[in-house]
Amino acid sequence: MGNFTWSYSGLSLFKQCPRKFYRTRISRDTKEEEQDFLLYGKAVHTAAEEYGRDNIDLPAQYEFIKPYVDTLMRTGGDKYYELKMALTADLEPCGFSDPEAWWRGIADFMAVDGKTALLVDYKTGKSTRYADTKQLEILSLALFKHFPEVKTVKGGLMFVVAGKLIEAMFYREEEEEYWESWDKDVALLNSSFESETWNPKSNFSCYKFCPVLDCEYNGRS
């Protein structure tokens, strides 16, 4: 693959619209506006991290997440909060800021106990309708590289507002199959980098949220 770095969120944005991905993540001549729900999600993540890792009291407005974080804190094994992981293009573990990093991701909560691990990502959406366990899959693949003793990962998307948990299991013996499922989308991203082609794609965000105002599909300009 070419000399570029990707993440789950970046690849998702690229699939939504290559032009928007390029303008907000690569050329950075356009700043993506932070919607209220994104700011709220960040605040909840920060509160959960500080409470679980640093024993800092939860702000009153986020007390509702206490039972969820308490449950995770009682998990056995070595615990990690907002753990940054990265892989090289050869799928070797590396530092998050290393120049050779090809993929980067952050695990909201992780507990490693011998050959098993628990991996959780907090979600603040009011519905699980668009829950995507592929995020857990790519994080699990990185976990397998950074923690070679782990054979099985139990993943969960913890919807703290909706009060639901979407679970998925991942197994080291199936690593190759998991990686193959990413090949097509990552190859398309690589092709755009190599050809320097970032075509716009009309989608639901064009008319309300997209900051690329000079795009022909933008309905805000």
Residue 221 lies in a domain: no
Q: Which uninterrupted H or E stretch holds 4?
A: none
DSSP class of residue 167 equals E
Residue 22 lies in a domain: no
What is the residue-level pLDDT of the chain in tens, covering all 221 positions? 457 899 999 999 999 999 999 999 999 999 987 788 889 999 999 999 999 999 999 999 999 999 999 999 999 999 999 999 999 999 999 999 999 999 999 999 999 999 999 999 999 999 999 899 999 999 999 999 999 999 999 999 999 999 999 999 999 999 999 999 999 999 999 999 999 999 999 998 888 889 999 999 998 76
What CATH number is given to the structural domain containing 146? Answer: 3.40.1350
- The sign of the CA dihedral 52, 53, 56, 60 is negative
Residues ≥6 apart with Cβ < 8 Å to 180: none
150 is in which domain, residue-wise?
68-181
In DSSP terms, 122 is beta-bridged to 158
pLDDT in the model for residue 220 = 72
Q: Are 87 and 182 in contact (CB under 8 A)?
A: no
Residue 175 lies in a domain: yes
Residue 194 lies in a domain: no
Residue 73 lies in a domain: yes
Q: Are 117 and 148 in contact (CB under 8 A)?
A: no
The full length of the chain comes to: 221
Residue 76 lies in a domain: yes
DSSP class of residue 22 equals I
Residue 81 lies in a domain: yes
- The whole-angstrom distance between residue 3's C-alpha and the CA centroid of its chain comes to 21
Distance CA 221, CA 213 (A): 5
Residue 58 lies in a domain: no
Q: How many domains does the chain divide into?
A: 1
